[in-house]
Amino acid sequence: MGALYGLGPTGIPGVLEVGGKILGIKSSVLGAVITSIVGLVGSIFVFFYPKLGGFLMLGAALVGFIFAFLGYLIATIFFLIGGIMALTVKQPNTE
């Protein structure tokens, strides 16, 4: 959920910045989009490797918040919740 919000209405349109005649890329928003993708990969890894997925989501939350500050706040909250749950919830045995 956090990755989809980070890639959504505030993420992708904010990547392209029109400054005069040059179409440039903001490094802060580009960093937030990359961390959203890392968080999305982490949320997929939770099913197979819960610890790795949890650490990827926590890292994406922290790095994304540093890059985009308040524009990444909701995604940060979702990644923090998902990462903490992945690291603390005991996985059932599938035997």
Q: Cα separation of 57 and 39, whole Å? A: 5
Q: What is the pLDDT of residue 23?
A: 45
Q: What is the pLDDT of residue 7?
A: 55
Q: What is the pLDDT of residue 29?
A: 67
Q: Cα separation of 44 and 28, whole Å? A: 25
Q: What is the pLDDT of residue 53?
A: 93
Per-10-residue mean pLDDT, the chain, length 95:
54 48 57 86 91 93 84 88 90 69
Q: What is the pLDDT of residue 41?
A: 94
Q: What is the pLDDT of residue 13?
A: 52
DSSP one-letter code for 22: E
Residue pair 29/61 in contact by the 8 Å Cβ criterion: no
